[in-house]
């Protein structure tokens, strides 16, 4: 059975899904996206993702193409049609296909392109990587200045992953002015004593939906949350480190630029935060 995807109002088999070659998402990366995880056939933190989608669109002078309730219905329909128990729903909204290429935005009544598809990932929550931890290298952060908007301009993050792979590592942390901004596709944290340290929100990083939930749970668990930037050297001397994202939840980091953290195995705080996050989010899933 082929995957059923959503394209501009229609549910179609993936082979039949079509988007115009003039689509500004294709020509100019003029679009935004969200990734929502599915656990036990239910959506994790859908409200957070819908709110951030609206913010990303607003920052780029686009309107929500439909209500959050209608978006939720499409997410659920795709989960049902594709029988997803664990996996992700990818959603992308672009400024549409005005019929020619032009740097200027098309007329406001140009319909936005809305595409959603499922990614089936059995075992997503029980990931072997979470038991082993991941290694990261540092690379310069040369992305644009509005990283708070979740755009589809993902070339540099992709290149970062490839640089990490070539160096024998799992992922890269991006460094600007000597300070870690975030991971290629996740927010970055270090742990020192009872403190969880992560960069404060600004236009320099994506405002992670997982980050917001994890920091709330950390405070509830009497951890001290400190929102400030840190250096690679500080990370290498930390007790532990981790990253968060909607699709990897809380992922322990066990080495930074070749230096093992602690005993080189996932830290206690990262493991605990992963457990709390998964428990609480499963309970709240819709
Ligand atoms: N930062 C970047 C650059 C990302 O791409 C992502 C995930 N898309 C995140 C952080 C984590 O955000 P979230 O927890 O909302 O998935």
Q: Is 18 an annotated catalytic residue? A: no
Confidence of residue 175 (pLDDT cuts 50, 70, 90): very high
Phi, psi of 281 (to 5 degrees): -75, -30
Mutate to test the pocket of ligand 1, among 156, 175, 185 (most ligand atoms within 8 A of CB): 185
Across the strands, what pairs with 36? 89
Look up residue 48 and give its two tokens: 């957070």
Nearest atom in ligand 1 to the alpha carbon of residue 246 is 16
CA 80 to the chain's CA centroid: 23
pLDDT at 20: 98
For the CA of 49, the closest atom of ligand 1 is 15
- Cα–Cα distance list, 6 to 13, 31, 114, 153, 201 (Å): 9, 16, 8, 22, 33
Closest residue by CA, ligand 1 atom 5: 185
Average predicted confidence (pLDDT) for the chain: 98
Structure tokens at 71: 């978006």
Is residue 185 lining ligand 1, measured as CB closer than 6 Å?
Answer: yes
**DSSP bridge pairs for 180:** 175
If we measure between CA atoms, which residue out of 229, 142, 218 comes closest to residue 187?
A: 229
Ligand 1, pocket-test mutation among 38, 173, 186, most atoms within 8 A of CB: 186
Number of H helices, E strands in the chain: 8, 15
> pLDDT over 70 for what percent of the chain?
100
Sheet holding 113-120, edge to edge: 10-13, 4-7, 113-120, 87-94, 31-39, 42-43
In the chain, what are the domains?
4-124 (3.30.470.10), 128-284 (3.20.10.10)
Confidence of residue 1 (pLDDT cuts 50, 70, 90): confident
Residue range 189-239, pLDDT digits in tens: 999 999 999 999 999 999 999 999 999 999 999 999 999 999 999 999 999
Q: Sign of torsion, CA 220 226 229 233?
A: negative
Distance from the alpha carbon of residue 1 to the mean position of ligand 1, in angstroms = 31
Name the closest-CA residue to atom 7, ligand 1. 185
Q: What does the block give as tokens for 233?
A: 């050297």
pLDDT score of 260 = 98
Element (H, E) at 66: none
Which tokens sit at 139? Answer: 């690379």
Question: Is pLDDT above 90 for 125?
Answer: yes
Six-digit token pair at 39? Answer: 């656990």
Cα 160 to Cα 5, 157, 205, 230, 282: the distances in Å are 29, 5, 16, 20, 31
> Could you tell me the two tokens for 23?
């689509």
Nearest-atom number in ligand 1 for the CA of 52 is 15
pLDDT class of 88 with cuts at 50, 70, 90: very high
Contact at 8 Å (CB) between 35 and 247?
yes
């Amino acid at each position: 059975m082929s995957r059923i995807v959503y394209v501009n109002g229609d549910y179609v088999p993936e082979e039949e899904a079509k988007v115009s070659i003039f689509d500004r998402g294709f020509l100019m990366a003029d679009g935004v996206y969200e990734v929502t995880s599915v656990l036990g056939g239910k959506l994790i933190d859908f409200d957070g993702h819908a709110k951030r989608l609206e913010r990303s669109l607003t920052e780029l002078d686009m309107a929500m193409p439909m209500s959050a309730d209608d978006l939720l219905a499409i997410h659920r329909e795709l989960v049902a049609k594709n029988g997803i128990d664990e996996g992700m729903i990818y959603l992308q909204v672009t400024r549409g296909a005005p019929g020619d290429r032009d740097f200027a935005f098309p007329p406001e009544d140009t319909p936005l392109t809305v595409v959603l598809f499922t990614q089936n990932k059995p075992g997503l929550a029980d990931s072997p990587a979470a038991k082993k931890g991941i290694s990261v290298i540092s690379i310069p952060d040369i992305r644009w200045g509005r990283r708070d908007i979740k755009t589809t301009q993902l070339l540099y993050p992709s290149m970062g992953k490839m640089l990490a792979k070539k160096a024998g590592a799992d992922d890269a942390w991006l460094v600007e002015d000597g300070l870690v901004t975030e991971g290629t596709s996740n927010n970055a944290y270090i742990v020192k004593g009872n403190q969880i340290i992560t960069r404060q929100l600004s236009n320099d990083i994506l405002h992670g939906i997982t980050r917001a939930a994890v920091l709330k749970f950390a405070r509830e668990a009497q951890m001290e949350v400190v929102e400030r930037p840190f250096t690679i050297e500080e990370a290498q001397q930390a007790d532990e480190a981790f990253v968060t994202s909607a699709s990897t939840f809380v992922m322990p980091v066990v080495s930074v630029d070749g230096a093992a953290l602690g005993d080189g195995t996932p830290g206690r705080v990262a493991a605990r935060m992963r457990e709390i996050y998964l428990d609480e989010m499963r309970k709240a899933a819709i």
